[in-house]
Amino acid sequence: MDDFEDPRDGAGTSRDDTTEQSSEFDASEQATSSNKSSTVDESQSIEDMLLEFDQQEGLIRDRSLLDPNHIVEEDRIVGRDKQLQEVTKMLRVALGDNRPPNLFLYGPSGTGKSLITKAVCKNISKICETRDIRFGTIEVNCQDLDTLGVAVYELSSRAADEADVAVEVPKHGVATKEKWDELYRIVNENFDSAVFVLDELDMLVGRRDKQDPAFSRLLYQLSRAGANNDLTAHISVVAISNDTKMMESVGSRALSSFTPEDVHFDDYDANQLQSILRRRQDAFYEGVLDEDVIPLAAAFAAQTHGDARKAIDLMRVAGELAEREGDESVREEHVREAQDKVEKNRVLEVVRGISTQKKLCLYATAAVASETDDESARSTTGYRVYQFLTDAIEADQYHQETYVNKMKEMTTYSLVDFERRSHGPSSGMFLEFQFGERPETILETLREDSRIDMVSPDEVSSVVKAQVRNET
Residue 147 CB coordination number (10 Å): 15
- On the CB side of 101, CA atoms within 13 Å amount to 13
Going by C-alpha positions, the residue among 72, 241, 267 that lies closest to residue 141 is: 241
**CATH number of the domain at 269-351, please?**
1.10.8.60
Q: Which residues are annotated as a binding site?
A: 111-115, 268, 280
Amino acid at 262: D
Bridge partner list, 262: 104
Average pLDDT over residues 196-218: 86
pLDDT tier at 423 (50, 70, 90 boundaries)?
low
203 within 8 A of 412, measured Cβ to Cβ? yes
Q: What is the pTM of this model?
A: 0.67
Over residues 410-432, mean pLDDT? 73
**pLDDT digit string, tens, across residues 349-372:** 777 778 889 999 999 999 999 999
Q: 166 near 109, Cβ under 8 Å?
A: no
Record: fold of 80-264: Rossmann fold (3.40.50)
Q: What is the mean pLDDT of residues 71-100?
A: 91
What are the structural domain ranges in the chain? 80-264, 269-351, 354-469
**103 and 90 Cβ atoms separated by less than 8 Å:** yes
Q: Which CATH number fits domain 354-469: 3.40.50.10860, 3.30.420.40, 3.40.50.2020, 1.10.10.10?
A: 1.10.10.10
- pLDDT classification of 31: cutoffs 50, 70, 90: very low
Average pLDDT (407-412) is 82
* Binding annotation for ATP: 111-115, 268, 280
Instruction: Look at residue 13 and give its three-state secondary structure.
Output: coil
Mean per-residue pLDDT of the chain: 85
pLDDT band with cut points at 50, 70 and 90 for residue 54 = low
Question: CB under 8 Å, gap of 24 or more: what pairs does 395-399 form?
Answer: 395/356, 395/357, 395/360, 395/451, 396/357, 398/357, 398/361
pLDDT at 304 over 80: no
* Type of residue numbered 465: K
- pLDDT tens-digit map of 134-169: 999 999 999 878 899 999 999 999 999 999 999 999
